[in-house]
A = this chain, B = another copy of it.
Protein backbone atom coordinates (compact mmCIF):
# COMPACT_ATOMS: atom_id res chain seq x y z
CA UNK A 1 0.00 0.00 0.00
CA UNK A 2 1.33 3.42 -0.95
CA UNK A 3 2.28 5.59 2.00
CA UNK A 4 -0.01 8.56 2.61
CA UNK A 5 0.81 11.60 0.53
CA UNK A 6 1.00 14.07 3.36
CA UNK A 7 2.70 16.77 1.34
CA UNK A 8 0.53 16.54 -1.79
CA UNK A 9 -1.49 19.68 -2.45
CA UNK A 10 -0.28 21.11 0.85
CA UNK A 11 0.52 24.47 -0.69
CA UNK A 12 -0.39 27.76 0.95
CA UNK A 13 -4.18 27.04 0.95
CA UNK A 14 -6.48 29.21 3.04
CA UNK A 15 -4.95 31.17 5.89
CA UNK A 16 -4.85 29.12 9.09
CA UNK A 17 -4.98 25.63 7.60
CA UNK A 18 -2.31 23.55 6.02
CA UNK A 19 -3.05 19.88 5.39
CA UNK A 20 -1.73 18.81 8.80
CA UNK A 21 -3.87 21.19 10.83
CA UNK A 22 -6.90 20.41 8.66
CA UNK A 23 -6.32 16.70 9.29
CA UNK A 24 -5.99 17.26 13.00
CA UNK A 25 -9.44 18.93 13.18
CA UNK A 26 -11.00 16.33 10.88
CA UNK A 27 -9.78 13.46 13.06
CA UNK A 28 -11.19 15.14 16.14
CA UNK A 29 -14.60 15.42 14.45
CA UNK A 30 -14.45 11.82 13.16
CA UNK A 31 -13.76 10.61 16.70
CA UNK A 32 -16.62 12.65 18.14
CA UNK A 33 -19.31 11.94 15.55
CA UNK A 34 -18.02 8.77 13.93
CA UNK A 35 -16.54 8.82 10.42
CA UNK A 36 -19.82 7.70 8.82
CA UNK A 37 -21.72 10.38 10.71
CA UNK A 38 -19.43 13.20 9.54
CA UNK A 39 -20.22 15.01 6.28
CA UNK A 40 -17.93 17.37 4.36
CA UNK A 41 -20.46 20.05 5.30
CA UNK A 42 -19.92 19.31 9.02
CA UNK A 43 -16.17 19.42 8.55
CA UNK A 44 -16.36 22.74 6.69
CA UNK A 45 -18.53 24.27 9.44
CA UNK A 46 -16.21 23.03 12.14
CA UNK A 47 -13.15 24.37 10.31
CA UNK A 48 -14.91 27.65 9.56
CA UNK A 49 -14.00 27.38 5.86
CA UNK A 50 -15.89 26.40 2.71
CA UNK A 51 -16.05 22.87 1.36
CA UNK A 52 -14.09 23.98 -1.69
CA UNK A 53 -11.28 25.11 0.60
CA UNK A 54 -11.12 21.55 1.91
CA UNK A 55 -11.09 20.20 -1.66
CA UNK A 56 -8.06 22.40 -2.23
CA UNK A 57 -6.17 20.00 0.07
CA UNK A 58 -7.82 16.62 -0.41
CA UNK A 59 -10.17 14.82 -2.80
CA UNK A 60 -12.73 14.27 -0.03
CA UNK A 61 -13.56 12.77 3.33
CA UNK A 62 -12.13 9.40 2.42
CA UNK A 63 -8.69 10.82 1.70
CA UNK A 64 -8.73 12.49 5.12
CA UNK A 65 -9.53 9.11 6.66
CA UNK A 66 -6.75 7.42 4.68
CA UNK A 67 -4.21 10.05 5.70
CA UNK A 68 -5.26 9.84 9.35
CA UNK A 69 -5.16 6.03 9.51
CA UNK A 70 -1.85 6.08 7.64
CA UNK A 71 -0.36 8.39 10.22
CA UNK A 72 -1.27 5.99 13.05
CA UNK A 73 -0.13 2.91 11.14
CA UNK A 74 3.11 4.46 9.93
CA UNK A 75 3.93 5.42 13.51
CA UNK A 76 3.41 1.86 14.70
CA UNK A 77 5.26 0.27 11.78
CA UNK A 78 8.21 2.65 12.22
CA UNK A 79 8.69 1.07 15.65
CA UNK A 80 8.99 -2.41 14.16
CA UNK A 81 12.10 -1.38 12.20
CA UNK A 82 13.95 0.24 15.09
CA UNK A 83 17.28 -1.51 15.77
CA UNK A 84 16.11 -2.59 19.24
CA UNK A 85 13.32 -4.57 17.56
CA UNK A 86 15.42 -6.11 14.79
CA UNK A 87 18.29 -7.51 16.85
CA UNK A 88 19.00 -8.94 20.29
CA UNK A 89 17.07 -11.41 22.48
CA UNK A 90 13.45 -11.58 21.42
CA UNK A 91 12.14 -10.77 24.89
CA UNK A 92 13.99 -7.45 24.78
CA UNK A 93 12.79 -6.75 21.24
CA UNK A 94 9.22 -7.35 22.39
CA UNK A 95 9.66 -5.17 25.45
CA UNK A 96 11.01 -2.35 23.30
CA UNK A 97 8.14 -2.72 20.84
CA UNK A 98 5.59 -2.49 23.66
CA UNK A 99 7.32 0.50 25.21
CA UNK A 100 7.56 2.40 21.92
CA UNK A 101 4.00 1.50 20.96
CA UNK A 102 2.84 3.22 24.13
CA UNK A 103 4.74 6.28 22.95
CA UNK A 104 3.09 6.18 19.53
CA UNK A 105 -0.37 5.77 21.04
CA UNK A 106 0.14 8.58 23.52
CA UNK A 107 1.64 11.03 21.01
CA UNK A 108 -0.73 10.16 18.14
CA UNK A 109 -3.74 9.55 20.38
CA UNK A 110 -6.57 10.85 18.12
CA UNK A 111 -5.13 9.09 15.06
CA UNK A 112 -4.72 5.75 16.83
CA UNK A 113 -8.17 6.16 18.40
CA UNK A 114 -9.64 6.48 14.91
CA UNK A 115 -7.63 3.45 13.76
CA UNK A 116 -8.77 1.25 16.64
CA UNK A 117 -12.42 2.06 15.95
CA UNK A 118 -12.28 1.16 12.26
CA UNK A 119 -14.67 -1.69 11.48
CA UNK A 120 -13.97 -2.27 7.77
CA UNK A 121 -16.91 -0.46 6.16
CA UNK A 122 -14.94 0.67 3.07
CA UNK A 123 -11.83 -0.29 1.07
CA UNK A 124 -9.78 2.33 2.95
CA UNK A 125 -10.91 0.86 6.29
CA UNK A 126 -10.29 -2.69 5.12
CA UNK A 127 -6.73 -1.81 4.05
CA UNK A 128 -6.16 -0.27 7.47
CA UNK A 129 -7.48 -3.41 9.16
CA UNK A 130 -5.16 -5.53 7.02
CA UNK A 131 -2.17 -3.43 8.10
CA UNK A 132 -3.28 -3.69 11.75
CA UNK A 133 -3.29 -7.47 11.36
CA UNK A 134 0.20 -7.27 9.86
CA UNK A 135 1.36 -5.35 12.92
CA UNK A 136 -0.34 -7.88 15.23
CA UNK A 137 1.52 -10.64 13.37
CA UNK A 138 4.84 -8.93 14.09
CA UNK A 139 3.94 -8.85 17.80
CA UNK A 140 2.77 -12.46 17.83
CA UNK A 141 6.00 -13.54 16.11
CA UNK A 142 8.18 -11.75 18.68
CA UNK A 143 6.21 -13.34 21.52
CA UNK A 144 6.53 -16.82 20.03
CA UNK A 145 10.29 -16.41 19.53
CA UNK A 146 10.75 -15.07 23.07
CA UNK A 147 8.88 -18.10 24.44
CA UNK A 148 11.01 -20.49 22.39
CA UNK A 149 14.18 -18.75 23.60
CA UNK A 150 12.99 -19.56 27.12
CA UNK A 151 12.69 -15.92 28.22
CA UNK A 152 8.89 -15.69 28.34
CA UNK A 153 6.66 -17.99 30.34
CA UNK A 154 5.55 -20.97 28.26
CA UNK A 155 2.30 -21.64 30.14
CA UNK A 156 0.27 -18.97 28.34
CA UNK A 157 -0.62 -19.31 24.67
CA UNK A 158 1.62 -16.83 22.76
CA UNK A 159 -1.35 -15.57 20.75
CA UNK A 160 -3.14 -14.80 24.01
CA UNK A 161 -0.09 -12.97 25.36
CA UNK A 162 -0.06 -10.74 22.26
CA UNK A 163 -3.77 -9.97 22.53
CA UNK A 164 -3.61 -9.14 26.22
CA UNK A 165 -0.42 -7.07 25.95
CA UNK A 166 -1.90 -4.90 23.23
CA UNK A 167 -5.28 -4.98 24.94
CA UNK A 168 -3.59 -3.12 27.77
CA UNK A 169 -1.63 -0.81 25.46
CA UNK A 170 -4.65 0.01 23.29
CA UNK A 171 -6.77 0.77 26.35
CA UNK A 172 -4.91 4.08 26.54
CA UNK A 173 -7.28 5.52 23.96
CA UNK A 174 -10.12 5.12 26.49
CA UNK A 175 -8.56 6.96 29.39
CA UNK A 176 -5.15 8.53 28.77
CA UNK A 177 -4.99 12.31 28.76
CA UNK A 178 -1.74 14.04 27.80
CA UNK A 179 -2.80 16.82 30.17
CA UNK A 180 -3.06 14.45 33.15
CA UNK A 181 -0.26 13.99 35.66
CA UNK A 182 1.29 10.93 34.00
CA UNK A 183 4.17 11.42 31.54
CA UNK A 184 4.46 9.14 28.54
CA UNK A 185 7.66 7.64 29.97
CA UNK A 186 5.90 6.81 33.25
CA UNK A 187 3.08 5.27 31.29
CA UNK A 188 5.41 3.15 29.16
CA UNK A 189 7.38 2.06 32.25
CA UNK A 190 4.16 1.09 34.01
CA UNK A 191 2.94 -1.05 31.12
CA UNK A 192 6.30 -2.75 30.64
CA UNK A 193 6.97 -3.37 34.34
CA UNK A 194 3.46 -4.66 35.05
CA UNK A 195 3.50 -7.15 32.22
CA UNK A 196 7.13 -8.23 31.97
CA UNK A 197 8.03 -8.30 35.68
CA UNK A 198 4.59 -8.44 37.28
CA UNK A 199 2.93 -6.53 40.10
CA UNK A 200 3.60 -8.76 43.09
CA UNK A 201 6.65 -7.95 45.15
CA UNK A 202 7.29 -11.62 46.03
Contact = CB atoms under 8 A, between A and B. Distances in A.
Interface of A: 91, 150-153, 155-157, 160-161, 163-168, 170-172, 174-175, 182, 186-187, 189-191, 193-202
Contacts of A170: 167, 171, 174
A196 B197 CA distance: 8
Contacts of A198: 194-199
Nearest to A116: B174
10 contacts: A151-B200, A151-B201, A152-B200, A157-B182, A167-B172, A170-B171, A194-B198, A195-B195, A195-B199, A198-B198
A153 B199 contact: yes
A156 B192 CA distance: 11
Contacts of A189: 156
A155 B199 CA distance: 10
A171 B191 CA distance: 15
Contacts of A174: 167, 170
B190 A157 contact: yes
Given A170-B171, A200-B91, A193 B153 contact: yes
Contacts of A91: 200
B151 A164 contact: no
Contact of A196 (B150, B151, B200): B200
Contact of A156 (B165, B167, B194): B194
B152 A190 contact: no
